[in-house]
Amino acid sequence: MKPKKKGLDPIVKMGLGILLGGFCLIAFGMYLSRPDRSIPPYSVGAQKGTLVALHLPSWTSDPEIESLLKRFREVGKKSRDFAHMKIRPTTPQDPRGRYQTIQIIIFSDPTWTEPDTFQRYVSGQNETALTSVDQDFRQQFEASVRGGYRADESGQAGWIGPWNRSQSTDRTLTMQWIFQDPWAPT
Q: In the chain, how many H helices and how many E strands?
A: 4, 6
pLDDT tens string 50-78: 999 999 999 999 999 999 999 999 999 99
pTM over 0.85: no
What pLDDT sits at residue 33? Answer: 56
**Quick check: 83 pLDDT over 60?**
yes
Cβ-count burial of 128 within 10 angstroms (0-12 exposed, 13-18 middle, 19+ buried)?
exposed
pLDDT, average across residues 23-52:
79
Q: What are phi and psi of 51, to 5 degrees?
A: -100, 130
**Quick check: 131 pLDDT over 90?**
no
3-state DSSP assignment of residue 162:
coil
Within 13 A of 114's CA, how many CA atoms are on the CB side? 7
Contact status, residue 29 vs residue 21, Cβ threshold 8 Å? no
User: What's the gap between Cα 48 and its chain centre?
Assistant: 14
DSSP 174: T
Contact status, residue 103 vs residue 52, Cβ threshold 8 Å? yes
H/E stretch holding 1 reads none
